[in-house]
Amino acid sequence: MTVLIRKVFLFGSLVVAALQATSITLPSLHRPQEATTFATSLVLDASEAAVAASTQPWNNPGQFHLNKNFSINATPTIRNYDWTISQKTIAPDGLERPMLLVNGMFPGPLIEANTGDRIVVKVTNNLVNGTAIHWHGMFQNGTNWMDGSGGVTQCLIPPGQSFTYNFTVPNQWGTYWWHAHAASQYVDGIIGPLVIHSPDEAHLSHYDEDVIVMLSDYYHTPSPTLVSWYLSPASDGSEPIPDNGLINGLNYFNCTLDSQALFPTHAPCRSNAPRSVFDFQPGLRYRIRLINAGSFADFQFSIDNHTLSVIEADGVDMQPVDVHRIPIHVGQRYSAIVQANQEADNYWIRAQMNLNCFNEVNPALDASVKALVHYTGAPVSQVANSFDWAEKAWPGRCLDLDASMLKPFVVRDAPPADVQVILDMSFQKITKKRVSLGYVNETAWVPLKKTATLFQANKGKTNFATTQLIVTLNQTQTVELVVNNYDEGSHPFHLHGHQVYVVGEGRGRYIPGESPLNTVNPLRRDTITLQTFGYTVLRFVNDNPGMWPFHCHINPHLNAGLMVQFFSLPSAVRAFKIPAELKKMCNA
Ligand code: C2O
């Protein structure tokens, strides 16, 4: 049965933005408050500039090499964290800019726990705007209000106040991350890794060392300015193009390129900022946990001379599959085992941004983001002489690793669908301002203020604001979610609180009965790329009561409205005892 009726779009609305070779100039916009308050702090005081230029005190490379003393067999415990979020000027690639940081760190602190543990994070907000922290991939079964989705599961933590997230991780493990889920804040630095261990993990005995590699596209201009531009007629629907990319928060940048950037900053800049270096000891096997914590770019990850044996996707163990390159879109994670079996030397780690996914050219961008593997005994260097794999990196389109290659280790067939939901997503310029907004069916999401859809649902409300597309699922059943992408872009969609079965994908629109489906041990994960002008068919069991966002993880697209919410098990949600301190924040 179809609960939502498909809308037919005019062909004209499919053509979003033509390629523009000329560079764009920043129009003078009426900026929202956030942009203004953020921009005032662009002026650096000299002493702060000097510190940022000489060292990377804000970067903790040690946390990305997991400590072997962490006992994965420990009895369940509470993992306590105390975080303060504040604005700070740093220079991840040598060019200074104000960022929003947790405990002054970029990337932010690692959360590491075992299945069965409780994670308690006290978040103090020292920003000028409200914030919320989301634990990407955590099921939060029974604690939907700890999901950290601004306007959905909570009101933002007001400036100057604290809120303590408190949840358990009873039945999941693998590689996750956390990030701000308020406005565009995570793009400005509020990101970090989250790793859950379990003795039940499939491939524990197949590696010796455990390493995190966070990839992110990176912008020299604070996100409020970029988002204002994107949501103005001036952008014509083209996303801001990154100035650089980072690996674990570091990269080189040639400062002379700033003046050619789409948004030049003229900020203090020191060339030759260091890249991340990963030490390899010959003979050991490394588990590399890849996280795309960026906001727009799709990367293809590789290490010269080293095969990647993929063993995990988004917290789901996979049967090992060897590849040379892993495409990874925003919000996704993979683990791959790499053997340190090459000659002791330095090798490039490459995270190549897929330029086919961009509408513009940013002359300041080197899309080949790099880090280094350094073998013990080889000379220490910031460059390598190694060569990229010979086969071409890109098929031309922005696609996930072929779903048929990724077979979950714990075999599960997709259950038959009890209900089908059809979602059509598109970008349309139908507002008066002629701004291109992201629509799921006929709704472009705008976050609620002073309340959250979860709180409304908890009070028994069943009709929501017209800016909220809410799909109500009254009982636990298998939902088949058909998403048609009427856009020329690819869109990494993330479903909060669940893993989904990927049962079908292809070009064009989904045709029931004709488009092929695979229900035999299909890929399961939590973030899936919808291909250009294509369809994706997902299934999930809605056994988790709450209000769960399903949204494009490309930050500008989320800001343009590409989000729908699954309202799962309303009677259980009405019975939720939501902590008073959480609701209190709505009155701030
Ligand atoms: Cu990492 Cu709602 O997302």
Question: For residues 537 and 337, is the Cβ–Cβ distance under 8 A?
Answer: no
Please give the Cα distance from 503 to 521 (Å, whole number): 9
| Per-residue pLDDT tens over the stretch 91-108 | 999 999 999 999 999 999
29 inside domain: no
Distance of CA 279 from the midpoint of ligand 1 (Å): 31
169 inside domain: no
What is the structure's pLDDT at 431? 80
Specify the CATH number for the domain of residue 566: 2.60.40.420
| Per-residue pLDDT tens over the stretch 161-209 | 999 999 999 999 999 999 999 999 999 999 999 999 999 999 999 999 9
Lowest-pLDDT range of 50-54, 370-374, 390-394, 457-461: 50-54
What is the structure's pLDDT at 328? 97
| Per-residue pLDDT tens over the stretch 216-265 | 999 999 999 999 999 999 999 999 999 999 999 999 999 999 999 999 99
Q: Which domain holds residue 545?
A: 11-21+410-587
39 inside domain: no
* pTM (predicted TM-score): 0.92
What is the structure's pLDDT at 318? 98
Mean pLDDT of 435-464: 96
Please give the Cα distance from 525 to 517 (Å, whole number): 17
What is the structure's pLDDT at 55? 65
pLDDT at 29 over 80: no
254 inside domain: no
Q: Which residue has the tokens 């009101």?
A: 155
Distance of CA 354 from the midpoint of ligand 1 (Å): 21
Mean pLDDT of 6-31: 28
What is the structure's pLDDT at 40? 33
Q: Which residue has the tokens 């067999």?
A: 73
Q: Which is nearest to 113 in space by CA: 168, 181, 60, 59? A: 168
Pairing of strands 491-495, 546-552: antiparallel
What is the structure's pLDDT at 307? 98
Distance of CA 330 from the midpoint of ligand 1 (Å): 10
| Per-residue pLDDT tens over the stretch 308-349 | 999 999 999 999 999 999 999 999 999 999 999 999 999 999
Nearest CA to ligand 1 atom 1: 136
505 inside domain: yes
Per the structure, how many domains does the chain have? 1
pLDDT at 397 over 90: no
Distance of CA 340 from the midpoint of ligand 1 (Å): 34
pLDDT at 24 over 60: no
539 inside domain: yes
| Per-residue pLDDT tens over the stretch 344-364 | 999 999 999 999 989 999 999
Please give the Cα distance from 468 to 25 (Å, whole number): 33
116 inside domain: no
Name the helix (H) or strand (E) containing 582.
Answer: helix 580-584
Nearest CA to ligand 1 atom 3: 136
What is the structure's pLDDT at 38? 41
Q: Which is nearest to 398 in space by CA: 541, 528, 270, 305? A: 528
Lowest-pLDDT range of 271-285, 383-397, 516-530, 532-546: 383-397
pLDDT at 423 over 50: yes
Residues with CB under 6 A from ligand 1: 134, 136, 149, 179, 181, 331, 494, 496, 549, 551, 553
Mean pLDDT of 448-458: 97
157 inside domain: no
Mean pLDDT of 113-136: 98
Cα pseudo-dihedral 443, 449, 455, 460, rounded to 10? -60
Mean pLDDT of 535-557: 98
Residue % of the chain over a pLDDT of 70: 90
pLDDT at 44 over 50: no
